[in-house]
Structure 1
């Protein structure tokens, strides 16, 4: 029986926008900066200023798509070593989120754990979250932090500081090629379904 949280029923959202945000934050963390590069910040400010309510929801769906793809990759890597991705990823993610009290409110952490567990079990984090109503402001910030931490975790495993963002870029390029003319740039993200 199909789940209402099956990824094929979920919108991919604005994956490009979400990736731009995460990549910008990753570069700041990797370079040891406390803020975003001024040029990158200008682009982020332009992106957020251009968003209406629909754009915000698309960006949130895009971030959930990133979480889904990151967890799919992590699940495959952990399964190669007979490990459960949830057992190895979720506890360290929760601990790290708890160490970020200025950015991530404690009440948002259980939701982020649920999102990651949903993605780790092959469900759409976006559809899983929709069951509980509208996103809160605290959850939006926590979602950004969650995607960032998963990307950084992937980069450490791969031994390549750009691996996670390059993997998403390649997935999107592959989806564009497979979809052919008339593709709107969102679609299936390389066989992951919607998110």
Structure 2
């Protein structure tokens, strides 16, 4: 039975812009930067402001699409080892989120866990979240952190710092070619 939260009903959003933000954060962490780079933060802020309201909505949908795609890749990977993606990914990411109280307020964690479960069970994280109203400002950092943590988890599994980014760019390239 089809769900109204099925990915076939969800807008993909601006996956490229979302991936650019997540990839720049991954590179900063891998380069050993522990404090945010003010210049990088300013560039991201300028970019986000240039998008306008519709562009920001597209980028939010793009981040949710990343979460969906990452969770689907993880689901297939864990199933190859007879493991459940929800059991193995969600608790560790929630534990990581709990260790980030400046970026992720505790009340946002259940929503982010819900996005992970939605993506891992084949539902659109974006449509799942929209059932509960509009995004809030307090959810922006946690949403970005959730996509970042998933990408980093994938990179660790693959033992390749660029694997998650290449995974998505490969899919985007395939879509453009077809």
Smaller-chain TM-score bracket:
over 0.9
Task: Flag structure 1 segments of 5+ consecutive residues without an equivalent.
Answer: 179-195
Instruction: Count residues in correspondence.
Output: 177
1:35 alignment partner in structure 2: 36
- 1:2-29 CA-partner distances (Å, limit 9, x unpaired): 1000101100001111011100111111
Instruction: Name the CA shift for 1:36/1:19 in 2 (closer, same or farther; >3 Å).
Output: farther
Alignment of 1:46-65 (within 5 A): 46-65=46-65
- 1:31-180 alignment runs, 5 A limit: 31-33=31-33, 34-36=35-37, 38=39, 40-41=40-41, 43-178=43-178
Q: Secondary structure at the match of 1:148?
A: helix
TM-score computed with the length of structure 1 as normaliser: 0.88
3-state SS, counterpart of residue 65 of structure 1: helix
Structure (1 or 2) with the greater helix fraction: 2
Instruction: State the alpha-carbon separation in 1 of the partners of residues 36 and 20 from structure 2.
Output: 15
Flag structure 2 segments of 5+ consecutive residues without an equivalent: none
Consecutive aligned runs of 4 or more in structure 1 exceeding 3 Å deviation: 40-43
Question: Aligned Cα RMSD in Å?
Answer: 1.2
Task: Specify which structure has the bigger relative contact order, considering alpha-carbon pairs within 8 angstroms and separated by 6 or more residues.
Answer: 1
Q: Residue in 2 aligned with 1:3?
A: 3
User: Could you state the TM-score of these two structures normalised by the residue count of structure 2?
Assistant: 0.96
